[in-house]
């Protein structure tokens, strides 16, 4: 193939050559070329190998709609060569062929495997013996699929950013209808965005030699304030949100209204070996010539069922392509035929193409008159040499987004295809998508859709006059219905209904034969329409085959709605920017400075330890430790009814708490299950300071507010979690250290266990709570985040006693020695206060119908089936959390926490066990990974069982 003489309005700039490589060889094209047009200009007709049979495939649509032109560009796979512009130096590599595109050993599956590899063959054949499947799968997976991802992560990175765009109207498609709609709407004062898949909008105007008109309309649209997203692909309709992929940006367009003016998709014809390179849609062939100045062939046969094919044949003729013959399925010559005949082009009426001939590209076509079933009359068959076989099998509206939005399309036999019959409030259609594909009609229908949008959004009359004018201009259609399959009756050759997935007519018939008679079932069985082109070219052909095989009317076979994305899109585009909304405490820089092992804990980044968790735990017990507990949820509950609210939220009583005192609280659902826990401290008569678990703050605040609105109490809740830092100073020296930093009385008499005091600590205002999660004398110091680092430094550098910062892991060791329960770790959705040893926290003697009261009352007189107990394991083995507790050979519980205790020098843990085993000294069996361990139950804390240290 070669370049044509310059075409009017062509996109390429012949003065600007650009060089890139294809499979290592340099290729020169011009600025404006796509990869495919540049390759075709160099005579390369095979662009890819097919998915299953590895057959050579070439350009089909010429506009990025099919999977025939998928290539790998600089390590990015699945790029559409027929829409991707060339750039200097890009490295383009073919996909799915080895060792080369022109010689692919896997084509053996086509030559020899053909009759032996029906759909489902691989799975049915290799699934037995079952044990060998992993091996088979590896080989089969290697042979299947398209493209190869780069091996190294760095080469796979993809930079995409999201961009939110709100607008009044999103127009999808920038052909004449879309441009007209955008201009009309913008001039009516709407905020309009238009996206178009091509490098420059214009649609069919561009391939029909009217690029100047497209330019003028584009200019008018810009002047009217329309934002144009070129090379912007609308990927789907998600409840009114339309992602438009444009290079490294994913626009998330939220429009009040949408107009789909995405055109219509020319349909292929089904005949023997209809996939050879050189067989193209007539519109695609014409586009190659008009837009890229590439001759799609030198001698062409055109097969058509409508005037579009005739029109394209004439255009190809004028470009200098010799039209050997036109097979027009319509029995009578169309009015449009006259011009072709005047140009000396032979038209055979009532005929179509029944077979293509050739090896690696089409060399000839057999055309013949066919009967209603597509069978050729052998006597009249004519074999014609050609290197281009252009086909026009009527069109299918590109209304996928409308269908996703709840619109409807129905089959119309006079158009041999579907027409949109129902639009939605949010989504309208225009132009060829609406069935109005002639210029004047398309323009009017675009204006009409815009008028409807403007009327809906701005008020004003609906554009009835325009509607009537459009209706009066519509002419009757003259389209012949293509047969499901056109055949010369010979057995040789494959008839493809889906080029993406290599699904043939036989495959569909096979599926119907096995009982998959509906389109939806046949689709899943054969994968027809499920390839990268989303059924654009295979939905109607496969529906015709099903209709023929089952005797069901084509209209009743129905359509499948293509799911988003409408265009294949790299995963990286959907991933957005790589930032995670991690919360960090005001002390986080201190953890960084100490090279803490920082890990996720809920949505927080937390210091897990500073290098030596066991040592940190020991340090707490020998002198003092300091842990950042800023992640604790902290809620301020205020108001005259604050106490009443808490009495309803917690099973124990909070309203009688004295100011300056603290009480532990467990929170329950109305099913009596434990949802969270923490402490409640009374600040003054009307003010409580409530802490929750680290991950529970947001949920607890949400729940409390919900109940608050339901109960209509005079109280208010403020989440102060993020602004208030907290650190727990614990250990035998904690009291001395604190007393040196504050003026308050820190003696055990002056500052008792579960007391709270407000004080200046190291010149920072602080609320100090004497509580002890880790089992030592401890002070939880809450202070303003912006001054927390100062306080931390003052404590760590106190100059008198050693303070060791400790992380979450040593804290977990220490609390396990105390058998302190962590909600969510040691409890699950079955945990109640009664089966976790917290029955003491439930006060049935208070009057409030607190959350969970009724459910707990209903089971209060029953002994729980399980209990949460401590255990030790002789030997050095630390149990795995989640390991099974076995009783009488049956699973009877599980390990919820397990650690090595540096204090005891023994493996310890918490486990749920059957209640009858929950006695001190009881031996239990724990099993995991095929081993069984004997453990000994302990019901009291391992460390300071009576809390004497804690209270000292």
Partner 1 sequence: MSYVLTCPNCGPREVTDFGFGGELHPRPTEAPSDRDLNRYVYFRRNVAGLQVEWWHHRSGCRAWFLAERDTRTNEVRWTAMPADAPTEGATAA
Partner 2 sequence: MSLDFLTPALGAGSPPARSPIAGTAARDGGRLEVRGDWEVPVSFGDQAAERRATQESVGFADASWLTKTQLDGPAEALDGCVAGLSFGTASLHRGAWWCRLTPTRALILGAAPAADSVSGAQLLDVTTQYCALRIAGPRCREVMARFCALDLRPTVSPPTALRPGSVARTPGLVVVEEAEQLLVLVGSALAEYFWTVVSDAATRLGGRPVGTEVLRGEALDLQEASADA
Of 149 and 760, which CB lies nearer to partner 2 in the complex structure? Answer: 760
CA distance 218 to 196: 11
Please state whether the peptide bond connecting residue 565 to the residue before it is cis, i.e. omega within 30 degrees of 0. yes
Q: Which of 765, 882, 891, 947 is the binder for partner 2 (CB under 8 A)? A: 765
Q: Is 779 in the site for partner 2 (CB under 8 A)?
A: no
Site string for partner 2, 205-244 (x = CB under 8 A): ----------------------------------------
**Strand-strand pairing, 662-668 and 633-638:** unpaired
Q: How far is CA 225 from the centre of its chain?
A: 32
Question: Quick check: 710 binds partner 1 (CB under 8 A)?
Answer: yes
Tell me the per-residue interface mask from 400 to 419 with partner 1, x by CB under 8 A, - otherwise. ------x-------------
Is there binding between residue 583 and partner 2 (CB under 8 A)?
Answer: yes
Place of tokens 């029995």: 331
Answer for which of 222, 299, 599, 716 binds partner 2 (CB under 8 A) is: 716
Nearest approach, Cβ of residue 851 and partner 2 (Å): 23
Q: Of 168 and 312, which CB lies nearer to partner 1 in the complex structure?
A: 168
Length in residues, the chain: 952
Using the rule CB under 8 A, give the single segment among 236-244, 320-328, 450-458, 805-813 that binds partner 1: 236-244
The reply to whether 862 sits near partner 1 by the rule CB under 8 A is no
Which listed range, 232-240, 378-386, 611-619, 805-813, lies at the site for partner 1 (CB under 8 A)? 232-240
Using CB under 8 A, which of 581, 710, 888, 929 touches partner 2?
581
Query: With CB under 8 A, what is the number of residues at the site for partner 1?
Result: 23
CA distances from 204 to 261, 304, 432 (A): 12, 18, 10
Q: Where are the beta strands (DSSP E) in 746-852?
A: 756-761, 764-769, 778-784, 804-805
In the list 712, 829, 862, 931, the residue contacting partner 1 (rule: CB under 8 A) is: 712
- Looking at the Cβ atoms of 736 and 855, the one nearer to partner 1 is 855
Beta bridge partners, 898, equal 909
- CB 719 → partner 1: shortest distance, Å? 8
Give 215 or 705: the residue with its C-beta nearer to partner 1: 705
Site string for partner 1, 663-692 (x = CB under 8 A): -------xx---------------------
State which of residues 683, 855, 887, 949 lies at the interface with partner 2 (CB under 8 A): 683
What is the CB-side half-sphere exposure of residue 366 using CA atoms within 13 A?
24
Measuring CA to CA, which residue among 656, 686, 642, 680 is closest to residue 846? 656
Token digits for 101? 């595109």
Least distance (Å) from partner 2 to the CB of residue 709? 10
Contact 578, 161 (CB under 8 A): no
Indicate which of partner 1, partner 2, none lies near residue 380 (CB less than 5 to 8 Å, by partner kind): none
246 near partner 2, judged by CB under 8 A? no
Question: Cβ neighbours of residue 285 under 8 Å, at least 6 residues apart?
Answer: 62, 296, 297, 300, 312, 316, 321, 388, 390
CB of 767 to partner 2, least distance (A): 4
Tell me which stretch binds partner 2 (CB under 8 A): 272-280, 419-427, 471-479, 575-583: 575-583
Using the Cα atoms of residue 459, residue 465, residue 468 and residue 473 in order, give the sign of their dihedral.
negative
Largest CA distance in the chain: 115
Give one word for 737, left, alpha or beta, with left for phi > 0 and alpha for psi -120 to 50: alpha
Least distance in angstroms from the C-beta of 364 to partner 2: 55
CA distance 391 to 537: 12
Interaction of residue 858 with partner 1, rule CB under 8 A: yes
Nearer to partner 2, 259 or 761 (CB): 761
Q: Which is nearer to partner 1, 132 or 849 (CB)?
A: 849
Q: How far is the CB of 636 from partner 2 (least distance, A)?
A: 7
CB crowding 590-600: b at 16 or more within 10 Å, else e: bbeeeebebee
DSSP conformation class of 661 = B
191 binds partner 2 (CB under 8 A): yes
Helix axes 539-550, 505-513, angle to 10 degrees: 40
For residue 639, the minimal CB distance to partner 1 (Å) is: 17
User: Does 789 interact with partner 2 (rule: CB under 8 A)?
Assistant: yes
Name every residue whose Cβ is closer than 8 Å to that of residue 261 and which is 6 or more positions away in sequence: 171, 172, 173, 174, 175, 177, 178, 181, 429, 430, 431, 432, 433, 446, 449
- Reported as half-sphere exposure (CB side, CA atoms, 13 A), residue 318 has a value of 16
Q: d(Cα 680, Cα 690) in Å, to the nearest integer?
A: 4
Among 22, 604, 792, 933, binds partner 2 (CB under 8 A): 604
Q: Does 855 participate in binding partner 1 (rule CB under 8 A)?
A: yes
Name which of residues 915 to 944 contact partner 1 (CB under 8 A): none
877 three-class SS: coil
Of 709, 800, 829, 931, which lies in the binding site for partner 1, with binding defined by CB under 8 A?
709
By CB under 8 A, name the one of 156, 165, 213, 254 that touches partner 1.
Answer: 254
User: With contact defined as beta carbons under 8 Å apart, do 194 and 155 qualify?
Assistant: no
Q: Name the residue nearer to partner 1 (CB basis): 720 or 855.
A: 855
The two three-digit tokens of residue 699, written as one number: 């949920």
Q: At what angle do helices 505-513 and 519-526 cross, to 10 degrees?
A: 120
Question: Does the CA dihedral 702-703-705-706 come out positive or negative?
Answer: positive
Residue 229 token pair: 């997203």
Least spacing, CB of residue 641 vs partner 1, in Å: 15
Candidates 20-28, 176-184, 713-721, 863-871: pick the segment binding partner 2 (CB under 8 A): 713-721
Helix (H, G, I), strand (E, B) or coil at 238: strand
Q: How far is the CB of 708 from partner 1 (least distance, A)?
A: 9
Q: What is the DSSP string of 116-159?
A: G--TTHHHHHHT-SGGGHHHHHHHHHHHSSSS---SSHHHH---
Of the candidates 789, 772, 744, the one whose C-alpha atom is nearest the C-alpha of residue 628 is 789
> Distance between CA 229 and CA 499 in Å, rounded?
30
**Minimum distance, C-beta of residue 782 to partner 2, in the bound complex (Å):** 6
Distances (CA, A) of 345 to 4, 310, 317, 330, 368: 20, 10, 9, 16, 17
Note whether 164 binds partner 2 by CB under 8 A: yes
Query: Considering the rule CB under 8 A, would residue 579 count as an interface residue with partner 2?
Result: yes
Question: Is the bond into 99 cis (omega within 30 degrees of 0)?
Answer: yes
Q: Quick check: 212 binds partner 1 (CB under 8 A)?
A: no
Rounded CA-CA distance 595/208 in Å is 66
Closest to partner 2 by CB, 411 or 792: 792
User: Would you state the structure tokens that stand for residue 358, as one six-digit string?
Assistant: 């050739």
Establish if 843 lies at the interface with partner 1 (CB under 8 A): no
Task: State which of residues 103, 238, 600, 844 lies at the interface with partner 1 (CB under 8 A).
Answer: 238
Asked if residue 599 binds partner 2 (CB under 8 A), the reply is no
Site for partner 1 in 789-808 (CB under 8 A): none
Residue 858 DSSP one-character state? H
Shortest CB 399 distance to partner 1, Å: 19
Is residue 602 involved in binding partner 2 (CB under 8 A)? no
Is residue 698 within the footprint of partner 1 (CB under 8 A)? yes
Residue 860 makes contact with partner 1 by CB under 8 A: no
Residue 857 touching partner 1 (CB under 8 A)? yes
Give yes or no for residue 716 binding partner 1 (CB under 8 A).
Answer: no
**DSSP H or E run through 755:** none
Query: What are the residues binding partner 2 (CB under 8 A)?
Result: 161-166, 191, 252, 254, 577, 579-586, 588-589, 604, 630, 636, 638, 659-660, 683-684, 687, 716, 718-724, 756-758, 760, 763-767, 782-787, 789-790
Query: What are the residues binding partner 1 (CB under 8 A)?
Result: 238-241, 254, 406, 670-671, 698, 701-702, 705-707, 709-712, 849, 854-855, 857-858
């Amino acid at each position: 193939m070669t370049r044509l003489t310059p075409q009017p309005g062509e996109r390429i700039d012949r003065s600007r050559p650009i060089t890139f490589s294809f499979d290592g060889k340099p290729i020169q094209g011009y600025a404006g070329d796509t990869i495919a047009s540049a390759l075709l200009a160099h005579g390369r007709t095979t662009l890819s190998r097919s998915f299953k049979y590895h057959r050579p495939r070439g350009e089909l649509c010429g506009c990025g709609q099919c999977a025939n032109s998928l290539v790998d560009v600089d390590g990015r796979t699945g790029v559409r060569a027929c829409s991707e512009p060339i750039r200097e130096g890009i490295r383009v590599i073919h996909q799915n062929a080895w060792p080369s595109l022109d010689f692919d050993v896997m084509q053996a599956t086509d030559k020899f495997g053909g009759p032996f590899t029906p759909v489902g063959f691989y799975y049915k054949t290799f699934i037995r013996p079952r044990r060998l499947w992993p091996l088979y799968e590896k080989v089969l997976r290697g042979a299947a699929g398209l493209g190869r991802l780069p091996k190294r992560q760095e080469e796979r990175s993809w930079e995409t950013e999201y961009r939110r765009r709100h607008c009044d109207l999103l127009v999808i498609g920038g052909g004449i209808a879309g441009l007209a709609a955008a201009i009309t709407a913008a001039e009516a004062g709407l905020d309009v965005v238009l996206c178009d898949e091509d490098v420059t909008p214009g649609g069919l105007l561009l391939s029909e030699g009217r690029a100047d008109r497209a330019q003028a309309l584009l200019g008018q649209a810009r002047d009217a304030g329309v934002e144009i997203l070129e090379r912007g692909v609308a990927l789907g309709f998600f409840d009114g949100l339309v992602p438009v992929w444009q290079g490294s940006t994913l626009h998330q367009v939220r429009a009040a209204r949408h107009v789909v003016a995405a055109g219509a998709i020319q349909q292929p014809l089904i005949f023997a070996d209809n996939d050879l390179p050189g067989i193209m849609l007539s519109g695609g062939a014409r586009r190659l010539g008009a837009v890229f100045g590439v001759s799609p062939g030198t001698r062409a046969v055109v097969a058509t069922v409508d005037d579009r094919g005739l029109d394209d044949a004439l255009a190809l003729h004028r470009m200098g392509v010799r039209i050997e013959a036109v097979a027009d399925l319509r029995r009578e010559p169309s009015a449009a035929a006259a011009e072709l005949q005047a140009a000396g082009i032979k038209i055979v009426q009532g005929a179509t193409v029944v077979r293509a001939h050739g090896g690696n590209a089409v060399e000839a076509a057999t055309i013949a008159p066919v009967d209603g079933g597509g069978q050729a009359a052998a006597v009249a068959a004519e074999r014609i040499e050609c290197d281009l076989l252009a086909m026009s099998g009527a069109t299918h509206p590109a209304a996928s987004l409308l269908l996703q939005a709840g619109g409807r399309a129905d089959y119309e036999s006079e158009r041999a295809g579907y027409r949109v019959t129902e639009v939605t409030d949010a989504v309208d259609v225009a132009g060829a998508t609406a069935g109005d594909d002639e210029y004047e009609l398309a323009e009017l229908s675009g204006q009409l859709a815009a008028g409807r949008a403007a009327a809906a959004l701005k008020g004003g009359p609906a554009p009835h006059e325009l509607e009537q004018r459009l209706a009066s201009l519509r002419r009757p259609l003259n389209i012949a219905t293509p047969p499901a399959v056109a055949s010369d009756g010979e057995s040789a050759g494959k008839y493809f209904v889906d080029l993406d997935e290599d699904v043939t007519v036989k495959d569909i018939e096979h599926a119907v034969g096995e009982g998959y008679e509906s389109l939806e079932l046949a689709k899943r069985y054969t994968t027809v329409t499920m390839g990268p082109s989303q059924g654009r070219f295979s939905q109607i052909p496969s529906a015709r085959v099903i209709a023929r095989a089952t005797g069901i009317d084509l209209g009743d076979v129905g359509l499948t709605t293509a799911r988003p994305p409408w265009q294949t899109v790299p995963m990286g585009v959907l991933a957005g920017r790589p930032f995670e909304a991690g919360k960090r405490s005001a002390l986080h820089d201190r953890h960084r400075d100490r090279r803490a092992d920082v890990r996720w804990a809920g949505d927080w980044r937390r210091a897990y330890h500073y290098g030596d968790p066991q040592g940190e735990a020991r340090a707490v017990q020998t002198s003092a430790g300091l842990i950042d507990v800023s992640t604790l949820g902290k809620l301020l509950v205020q108001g005259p009814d604050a106490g009443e609210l808490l009495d309803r939220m917690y099973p124990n009583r909070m309203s009688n708490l004295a100011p300056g005192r603290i009480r532990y609280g467990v929170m329950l659902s109305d099913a009596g299950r434990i949802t969270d826990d923490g402490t409640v401290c009374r600040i003054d008569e009307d003010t409580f300071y409530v802490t929750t678990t680290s991950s529970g703050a947001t949920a607890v605040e949400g729940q409390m507010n919900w109940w608050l609105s339901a109960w209509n109490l005079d109280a208010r809740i403020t989440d102060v979690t993020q602004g208030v830092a907290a650190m727990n100073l614990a250990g035998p020296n904690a009291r001395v250290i604190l007393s040196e930093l504050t003026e308050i009385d820190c003696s055990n008499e002056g500052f008792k266990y579960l007391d709270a005091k407000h004080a200046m600590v190291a010149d920072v205002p602080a609320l100090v709570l004497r509580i002890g999660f880790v089992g030592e004398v401890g002070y939880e110091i809450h202070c303003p985040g912006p001054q927390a680092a100062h306080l931390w430094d003052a404590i760590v550098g106190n100059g008198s006693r050693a303070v060791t910062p400790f992380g979450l892991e040593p804290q977990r060791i220490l609390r396990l020695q105390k058998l302190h329960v962590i909600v969510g770790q040691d409890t699950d959705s079955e945990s109640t206060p009664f089966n976790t040893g917290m029955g003491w926290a439930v006060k049935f003697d208070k009057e409030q119908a607190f959350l969970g009261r009724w459910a707990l009352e209903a089971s209060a007189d029953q002994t729980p089936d399980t209990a949460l107990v401590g255990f030790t394991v002789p030997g050095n083995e630390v149990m795995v959390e989640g390991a099974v507790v076995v009783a009488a050979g049956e699973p009877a519980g599980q390990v919820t926490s397990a650690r090595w205790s540096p204090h005891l020098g023994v493996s310890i843990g918490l486990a749920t066990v059957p209640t009858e085993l929950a006695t001190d000294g009881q031996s239990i069996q724990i099993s995991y990974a095929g081993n069984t361990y004997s453990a000994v139950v302990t019901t009291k804390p391992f460390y300071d069982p009576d809390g004497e240290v804690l209270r000292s």
